[in-house]
């Protein structure tokens, strides 16, 4: 029995939309009537006096059971950010803007996070923004933060610089730092942005750009007003910057890295942060260093660990990459706790509400097959093998099938529905087979869900 049914027997947690005909309100859909009943239950609960923590847990459980904890994720907007007037020769930069919904901001100016991609760029092989940024946008939007993801490579005719050694790269941290401050200028002109609560965050090469963008020893930085309240760097390369004895921080920094990272090793970053921590506060802003054991480059993602080739800045030309579930969970919670602390803005949601709810609509169960019936999956033998692995993935999760019989899974992400469908090979069509604990596939091709539908 669901929690909501235990409190209000017979009340459907998710009901199909249909016209209302009774006293509940003419013109309301059934879902709207159910939401009204849900609010009545919350109000009824508020007349009781259990301990506050117990009440919070009970209401959070109700929200999750009814799918109401997740606010609508704002639609992605692609735009161009003009270069700085004093950045001669720099192009306008493509960027992807995810404004927080009014339900989360209260219609007030909201904090913003600028997210900087790594050396592979922010786009997949079909020129779509990759899942990491959709996922981060969903989490941040739920907390009432805007999210901006500049793409520094496409506007310069590049896809990736991972394969190229530093000395031969056409785009490096100084060029990307100019992109960062161009993005700041664009954000500062917006009335919906709280310019006193701007955060700079990056991954890998983007994290190195973060370090250069808050470098107190750099004239480019010190010659400008400092816009950032906090900065976050996921697994940057620290070797080169640690050789700058004058390096210091303009902005508080959280640096997170995998202890076993053999692409951007942890030791130089540990040494750098230890030196910075010895400086007086007047000389450098505070820095926090977190190293996650048994973790590699990309520990915060969901990809399986593998040995990657074509790495231009490693001795072997290869590096281990991929997610570590424990480090992923711990680092995302540390991220949001750090933002709340540095921005002096309490979090709105619990971890379960923020990370455990789909960003896109979950179709109703179809009755096509039992969830555990691997042999019932109408795909290839490989697709059934992938489906068996899907059943072990953490939720939120989704599994899609292509018309050619391929299977594609995504798990432990609010963006699971979109990611599973986006994994479909080019020139093929995919449809959802299962989401979380229910099969949603139908025998009728016309009724299959082939795209991530309106965010909640």
pLDDT (tens digit, 9 = 90+) per residue, 255-298? 999 999 999 999 999 999 999 999 999 999 999 999 999 999 99
> What's the whole-number mean pLDDT along residues 185-189?
98
Measured between alpha carbons, how far is 435 from 409 in angstroms, rounded to an integer? 10
> What's the whole-number mean pLDDT along residues 175-181?
97
Q: How confident is the model at residue 46 (pLDDT cuts 50, 70, 90)?
A: very low
Q: How confident is the model at residue 74 (pLDDT cuts 50, 70, 90)?
A: low
**CB-CB neighbours of 252 under 10 Å:** 19
Measured between alpha carbons, how far is 140 from 118 in angstroms, rounded to an integer? 19
pLDDT at 185 over 60: yes
The more confident residue out of 148 and 19 is 148
Give the HSE-up count for residue 193: Cα atoms under 13 Å, Cβ half-sphere: 24
Region of residue 115 (phi > 0: left; psi between -120 and 50: alpha; otherwise: beta): beta
Give the HSE-up count for residue 246: Cα atoms under 13 Å, Cβ half-sphere: 6
Residue ranges of E strands in 204-279: 228-234, 253-258
Question: Percent of the chain at pLDDT above 70?
Answer: 83
Q: Rounded to two decimals, what is the model's pTM?
A: 0.84
> What's the whole-number mean pLDDT along residues 238-266?
97
Per-residue pLDDT at 187:
98
Per-residue pLDDT at 40:
43
The token pair at 25 is 């309100």
Q: Of 167, 205, 174, which Cα lies nearest the Cα of 87?
A: 174
Q: How confident is the model at residue 453 (pLDDT cuts 50, 70, 90)?
A: confident
- Classify strands 93-98 and 146-151 as parallel, antiparallel or unpaired: antiparallel
Per-residue pLDDT at 2:
31
Q: Which residues pair with 306 in a beta bridge?
A: 321
Q: How confident is the model at residue 166 (pLDDT cuts 50, 70, 90)?
A: confident
Centroid of chain to Cα 326: 17
> What's the whole-number mean pLDDT along residues 196-212?
98
| 3 state SS of 143 | coil
pLDDT at 238 over 80: yes
Please give the angle made by the CA atoms of 163, 165 and 167, to the nearest 5 degrees. Answer: 145
Measured between alpha carbons, how far is 237 from 114 in angstroms, rounded to an integer? 19
> What's the whole-number mean pLDDT along residues 103-130?
96
Per-residue pLDDT at 64:
45
The more confident residue out of 30 and 177 is 177
Per-residue pLDDT at 65:
45
DSSP string for residues in 180-193: HHHHHHHHHT-TTE
DSSP element (H, E) containing 430? strand 430-435
Provide the H-helix boundaries in 217-287. Answer: 219-222, 239-242, 266-277
> What's the whole-number mean pLDDT along residues 375-402?
98
> What's the whole-number mean pLDDT along residues 176-184?
98
Residue 29 phi/psi, 5° resolution?
-70, 165
Compute the Cα dihedral for 155, 157, 160, 165 and give only its sign.
negative
Measured between alpha carbons, how far is 191 from 188 in angstroms, rounded to an integer? 8
Q: Which of 226-230, 310-314, 354-358, 400-404 has the lowest mean pLDDT?
A: 310-314
């Amino acid at each position: 029995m669901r929690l909501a049914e235990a409190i209000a027997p017979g009340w459907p947690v998710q009901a199909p939309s249909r016209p209302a005909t009774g006293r509940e309100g003419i013109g309301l859909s059934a879902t709207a009537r159910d939401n009204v009943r849900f609010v009545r239950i919350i109000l009824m609960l508020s007349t009781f006096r259990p301990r506050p923590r117990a009440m919070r847990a009970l209401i959070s459980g109700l929200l999750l059971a009814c799918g109401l904890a997740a606010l609508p994720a704002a639609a992605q907007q692609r735009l161009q950010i003009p270069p700085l007037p004093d950045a001669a020769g720099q192009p306008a930069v493509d960027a992807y803007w995810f404004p927080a919904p009014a339900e989360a901001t209260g219609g007030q100016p909201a904090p913003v996070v600028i997210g900087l991609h790594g050396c592979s760029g922010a786009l997949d092989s079909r020129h779509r923004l990759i899942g990491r940024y959709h996922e981060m946008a969903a989490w941040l939007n739920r907390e009432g933060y805007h999210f901006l993801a500049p793409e520094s490579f496409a506007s310069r005719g590049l896809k990736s610089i991972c394969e190229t050694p530093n000395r031969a790269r056409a785009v490096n941290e100084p060029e990307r730092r100019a992109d960062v401050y161009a993005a700041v200028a664009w954000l500062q002109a917006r009335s919906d942005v709280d310019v006193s609560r701007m955060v700079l965050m990056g991954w890998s090469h983007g994290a190195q750009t973060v370090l250069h963008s808050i470098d107190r020893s750099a004239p480019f930085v010190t010659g400008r007003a400092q816009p950032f309240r906090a900065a976050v760097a996921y697994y940057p390369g620290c070797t080169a910057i640690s050789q700058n004895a004058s390096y210091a921080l303009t902005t508080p920094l959280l640096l997170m890295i995998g202890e076993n990272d053999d692409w951007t090793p942890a030791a130089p970053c540990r040494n750098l942060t230890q030196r910075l921590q010895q400086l007086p506060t007047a000389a450098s802003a505070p820095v926090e260093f977190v190293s996650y054991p048994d973790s590699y480059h990309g520990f915060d993602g969901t990809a399986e660990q593998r040995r990657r080739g074509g790495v231009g800045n490693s001795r072997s030309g290869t590096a281990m990459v991929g997610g570590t579930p424990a480090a992923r969970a711990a680092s995302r919670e540390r991220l949001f706790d750090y933002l709340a602390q540095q921005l002096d803005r309490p979090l709105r949601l619990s971890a379960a509400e923020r990370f455990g709810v789909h960003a896109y609509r979950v179709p109703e169960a179809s009755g096509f097959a039992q969830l555990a019936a691997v042999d019932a999956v109408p795909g290839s033998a490989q697709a059934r093998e992938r489906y068996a692995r899907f059943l072990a993935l953490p939720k939120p999760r989704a599994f899609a099938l292509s018309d050619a019989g391929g299977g594609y899974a995504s798990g432990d992400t609010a963006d699971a529905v979109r990611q599973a469908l986006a994994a479909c090979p080019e020139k093929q069509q995919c449809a959802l087979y299962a989401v979380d604990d229910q099969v949603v596939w139908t025998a009728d091709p016309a009724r299959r869900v082939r795209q991530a539908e309106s965010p909640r």
